[in-house]
Amino acid sequence: MTPYTAEGILALLTKLCAIASISGHAEQENACARLIYDELKSIPCAGGNELDVKFIACEADALKRKAVYALLTPAQPAPRTVLLTGHFDVVDTACYGELKELACDLPALTRKLRELGGLAPEAQADLESGNWLFGRGSMDMKAGLALFIAAIGRYAAQESLGVNIAFLAVPDEEANSAGMRGSMREFCTLLAERGIKLNAALTGEPCFWTKATSETPAARPYYTGSTGKIMPAFLAVGQGAHIENYFNGLSSALMISNVVRTLEASPALQERTVDGVLLSPAACLSMQVRRDSYSVTLPERSAAYFNVLCVERTPLEILQICRKAASAAAMETLAAVGRAARAYGKSVPLPAIDVFTVAELVQMRAAQTHASKEAVMEELRAFAQSVPSDLDAREISLRTFEHLADCVRLAKPAIIVGFVPPYYPALYNRNRTEDEKRLRRIVMKTVEEAGRLAGDGATSYTEVFMGISDLSFLGFQGEEQALLALKDNMPGWGVAYDLPIEQLLSLDVPVANMGPAGRDAHKDTERLELRYSLEVAPKLLVAAIDEIARG
């Protein structure tokens, strides 16, 4: 077992990082799962404590990856349970260039970087300080997992353990969160079989050192929530015509470009966190004409999808905003064509452009075929399954968009509004329940104590993590209808993407980060702050767990 010491945690971190468990590399991800499983199985229990350790096969995962579940329970039933969770996959190492082969060997990479020098000033200063360990997965987030595994060993040795500790380590967080999404049903079932209710969830994600600004100093941030993310998508269906007869048709490329102009960085989708921080604006991640070869016909199909961050807004609310944007884009398209026609001395009738949601097209298809909505959804799933499974999930969804439009046989140009994968529900501490209030107090105390123990006061609190994390899948803070709007408007649901909706609606777990600290996640200078992560963070974690246990 791994001792709960700086040396023990560092040794386990080095072993975990030595496995290059890059997202999508199933063999290595499963090898890392095996190491975590073996480490947990090696933990002895004292005083009648029990530690149950299992693999969870990630549901609907074509790569057949595994998550690792554990549950530590005392001899005498404990009323309260804390979840320790995190991911063991890492991002690619290509950015390391010639040092790629050393990227997962933390001591060797750090030594080599000292020999070479020449890093950016901040990274070079950290390197020369001797207080930072460089390498892929060092801070994002295998140090957090090493800390958690060692903590389970510490608590398993307690004669009078007064809390249940659940553990879940998953693959694929860095890609599509297939690990967390695919393990939640079985994870919840395993807890339910033991009569376990979660009172708090702590992630081993690190405190990502912030950059100093003119207003705030650099700090290690702690948070009690995670930003949401949704991907609105649009399929523009135009009217084909040879380019010599431009005004006899309607270019879908023009239609979709107006959608992008309307929504890109649009204030209509602007949101602030609970503490007033503006989220990043909506951004188009893909805009494309949907054809495979050269043609002198006006494009009949074009598509675009956007990255939208959210805190309060539900999929249903965002769908309504996007529908209005599509209507505005349709009007601007017709106005632009009208202006162009006049400039060319043409008088042409302008076709109306309809705007539909995916759910509305499903209803139209059901009416046309005298079938149920469920039958049409099954038809779409069957089509999505026929698409090559090695394609990107967004491409599978877009092809299913197009298939639905083909089936309905739209008579006029149209813009279809829906979603493509992935979706991350926003999750934040609303300070309503006793568990939420308690965890908020614990995190506030952690921030104060962390600054004192570190000796620099460089810790801070923020309501939500401004990135995306698997914490999103520990509950949905909205009504079922709002979540079903996502399912009903994402073509390929159940194939390209899926969510454990029942579990999302049933869970209500306050969350916080309680891991190490580091800098430059996903970069070739990713690094872990050693003293804080190996000496301060372990004390903070124990204090937090003990406080949760007291209730």
Place of tokens 């149920």: 372
Looking up tokens 């040092």 gives 99
The confidence band for 502, taking pLDDT boundaries of 50, 70 and 90, is: very high
Same domain, 393 and 460: no
Helical (H) or strand (E) element with 63: none
Average pLDDT, the chain: 97
- The pLDDT confidence band at residue 503, using thresholds 50, 70 and 90, is very high
The CA distances from residue 89 to 15, 23, 86, 208, 397, in Å, are 14, 5, 10, 18, 25
User: Beta strands of 186-280 (E only): which ranges?
Assistant: 200-203, 207-208, 220-223, 225-226, 228-230, 232-237
Rounded CA-CA distance 466/310 in Å is 10
| 143 and 189 housed in the same domain | yes
Identify whether the C-beta of residue 132 lies closer than 8 Å to the C-beta of residue 147.
Answer: no
The C-alpha angle 102, 108, 112, rounded to 5 degrees, equals 85
In a domain, 491, yes or no: no
Provide the pLDDT for residue 438: 98
Based on its alpha-carbon atoms, the radius of gyration of the chain, rounded to whole angstroms, reads: 26
Q: Which helix (H) or strand (E) holds 329?
A: helix 315-343
Among the listed residues 15, 32, 104, 22, the one whose alpha carbon sits nearest the alpha carbon of residue 66: 32
45 within a domain of the structure (yes/no): yes
Q: What is the CATH number of the domain that holds 357?
A: 3.30.70.360
Res 274 pLDDT > 90: no
pLDDT for res 551: 82
Domain end among 419, 442, 463: 419
Q: At which of 372, 398, 419 does a domain end?
A: 419
In a domain, 492, yes or no: no
* pLDDT value, residue 466: 86
Q: How far is CA 204 from the centre of its chain?
A: 15
50 forms beta bridges with: 73
Q: Are residues 200 and 233 in the same domain?
A: no
Residues 42 and 93 in one domain: yes
Same domain (yes/no): 256, 391: yes
- Residue 167 structural domain: 6-226+425-478+499-550
494 in a structural domain = no
> Is the domain of 16 the same as that of 154?
yes
Domain-located, residue 119: yes
Could you tell me what percent of the chain has a pLDDT over 70?
100
Nearest to 524 by CA among 151, 86, 127, 195: 127
The reply to whether 342 and 253 lie within a common domain is yes
For residue 539, give the nearest of 449, 462, 455 by alpha carbon: 449
Please determine, for residue 271, whether its predicted confidence score (pLDDT) is greater than 90: yes
Q: How far is CA 288 from CA 234, 240, 428, in A?
A: 11, 16, 35
- Half-sphere exposure (Cβ direction) of 318: Cα atoms closer than 13 Å: 32
- Output the pLDDT for position 440: 98
Does position 275 have pLDDT exceeding 90, yes or no? no
pLDDT exceeding 90 applies to what percent of the chain? 95
Return the CATH number at 544. Answer: 3.40.630.10
Reported as a pLDDT band with limits 50, 70 and 90, residue 348 is: confident
Cα distance between residue 206 and residue 245, in whole Å? 59
Q: Exposure of 278 by Cβ count < 10 A (0-12 exposed, 13-18 middle, 19+ buried)? A: exposed
413, pLDDT greater than 90: yes
Extract the tokens encoding 54.
């299992």
The CA distance from 304 to 417, in Å, is 10
- Report yes or no on 484 lying in a domain: no
Instruction: Evaluate whether residue 1 is within a structural domain.
Output: no
Domain boundary among 419, 442, 467: 419
Q: What are the tens digits of pLDDT across the range 416-475?
A: 999 999 999 999 999 999 999 999 999 999 999 999 999 999 999 999 998 889 999 999
Instruction: Check if the beta carbon of residue 75 is closer than 8 Å to that of residue 184.
Output: no
pLDDT at 266: 98
**What mean pLDDT is predicted for residues 209-215?**
93
Residue 260 pLDDT more than 90?
A: yes
User: b/e map of 407-430 (b: 16 or more CB within 10 Å)?
Assistant: bbeeeebbbbbbbbbbbbbbbbbe
pTM recorded for the entire structure:
0.94
**DSSP per position, 203-223:** E---EEPPPP-SSS---EEEE
Task: Tell me, yes or no, whether 337 and 442 share the same domain.
Answer: no
* Distance in angstroms (rounded) separating the CA atoms of residues 227 and 268: 18
> Do residues 232 and 380 share a domain?
yes
d(CA 389, CA 492): 12
CA distance 76 to 363: 55
pLDDT tens digits for 88-110? 999 999 999 999 999 999 999 99
180 and 318 co-located in one domain: no
Start-to-end CA distance of the chain, whole Å, equals: 29
Specify whether 167 is located in the same domain as 273.
Answer: no
pLDDT on residue 286: 98
Instruction: Say how far apart CA 79 and CA 87 lie, in whole Å.
Output: 27
Considering the domain architecture, whether residues 101 and 171 belong to the same structural domain is answered as: yes
Number of domains in the chain: 2
What 186-191 contacts at long range (C-beta under 8 Å, 24+ apart), as own/partner pairs, is 186/56, 186/57, 186/59, 186/69, 187/56, 187/67, 187/69, 188/500, 188/503, 188/506, 188/507, 190/54, 190/69, 190/71, 191/71, 191/81, 191/166
363-368, long-range: CB within 8 Å, 24+ apart, which pairs?
Answer: 364/408, 365/404, 365/407, 365/408, 368/408
How far is residue 327's CA from residue 259's CA, in Å, rounded to a whole number?
9
Contact between residue 465 and residue 366 where contact means Cβ atoms under 8 Å apart? no
Crossing angle of the two packed helices 537-550 and 142-156, in degrees rounded to 10: 50
- The tens digit of pLDDT for each residue in 50-94 reads 999 999 999 999 899 999 999 999 999 999 999 999 999 999 999
Higher-confidence position of 1 and 119: 119
Write down the pLDDT at residue 56.
99
In a domain, 96, yes or no: yes
